[in-house]
Amino acid sequence: MARLAFLGSPPAAVAALRALVDADHDVAMVVSRADARRGRGTGRSPSAVKQAAVDLGLPVTDRLDDVTGVGAELGVVVAYGRIVPRSVLDALPMVNVHFSLLPRWRGAAPVERAVLAGDSDTGVCLMRLEEGLDTGPVVSSVALRVGEGEHVSPLRDRLAVAGAELLVEALAHGVDAMGPGEPQRGEPTYADKVRIDELRLDWTRPAVDLERVVRLDRAWTTVGGRRLLVLDAVAHPDRSPPGADAPGELAGTEVRTGEGVLELVVVQPAGRTPLRAAEWRRGLRRGTATRLGDEEADR
């Protein structure tokens, strides 16, 4: 089995770390982000990968240079969130588990961008790490179908499991047997981080596009000057709600859009827990505006 260093931070990277340990690889060092401040207090919380490493009894650090002194044969990177400099790559070759079918969706938010673009297929690539942004040769890959209406969180979970399996399979016969990989083929697209303004529901857009935004699990609008999270919704592109004449106008739990209707399913008003949209709608006080998105939300 191989002696490895592991670099990662978010929950999506934990499956790969645990899979390597379960496959009896020697994980000599785990590198993860420094503990982050928790809420408004002074306490700090470890990343999901750091907590998993501690639970597994693995040495963990937030200093990237530490990986060069542990005698590892290979570094494994999964959603680490930082560029690995040439000086470290020269000291330790690395592979990266990337949640897309490269060269489509190079960058920080491949799962989110696949959902926003309406991709019907995505996947995972195991690639050799280079200084460029996800440009390295692909060692192996696996394609996954995106479920109809599937949200980003369960899709990312499925990709994480597929990536862990791909990694373990590639290392089954040791680091040297992995091979150099094949150059990426096709036109690259880039997956920038999703900005907060992209998550605000623009009711002049088609309902199909808005449903994709909702599937990112952080979509929002406003009602009566207060922010409203829209956690689940269904697009009806050929429907027009009775009595709703303008984009953003609410009729029952249906919102008129630039093309069709977005039916609200689960929402979360500011300061409250998530609830069914029908229950939220019944609880609106008489006189509350039924046009969504017109006013600035309270911050």
State in words which class domain 3-178 has.
alpha beta
Q: CB-based contacts of 152: which residues, under 8 Å, 6+ apart? A: 111, 112, 115, 215, 216, 217
C-alpha 207/C-alpha 203 separation (Å) is: 8
**pLDDT, mean of residues 254-283:** 94
Q: CB-based contacts of 196: which residues, under 8 Å, 6+ apart? A: none
Instruction: Give the per-residue pLDDT at 39.
Output: 61
Judge whether residue 298 has pLDDT over 60.
no
Instruction: Give the per-residue pLDDT at 279.
Output: 94
What is the pTM for the complete model shown? 0.92
Instruction: Give the per-residue pLDDT at 79.
Output: 95
DSSP state of 176: G
SS3 letters across 34-101: CCEECCCCCCEECCHHHHHHHHHCCCEECCHHHHHHCCCCEEEEECCCCCCCHHHHHHCCEEEEECCC
8 Å CB contact between 252 and 281: yes
6-57, pLDDT tens digit by residue? Answer: 999 999 999 999 999 999 999 999 999 998 876 666 678 999 999 999 999 9
**pLDDT, mean of residues 282-290:** 70
120-169, pLDDT tens digit by residue? Answer: 999 999 999 998 899 999 999 999 999 999 999 999 999 999 999 999 99
108-121, pLDDT tens digit by residue? Answer: 999 999 999 999 99
Q: CB-based contacts of 251: which residues, under 8 Å, 6+ apart? A: 241, 242, 243, 244, 290
Which of helix, strand or coil describes residue 235?
strand
C-alpha 56/C-alpha 65 separation (Å) is: 22
Domains 3-178 and 196-282 are alike in CATH topology: no
Which of helix, strand or coil describes residue 276?
strand
> pLDDT band at 294, cuts 50/70/90?
confident
Domain 196-282 falls under CATH 3.10.25.10: yes
Instruction: Give the per-residue pLDDT at 188.
Output: 97
Q: Domain coordinates of the chain in residue numbers?
A: 3-178, 196-282
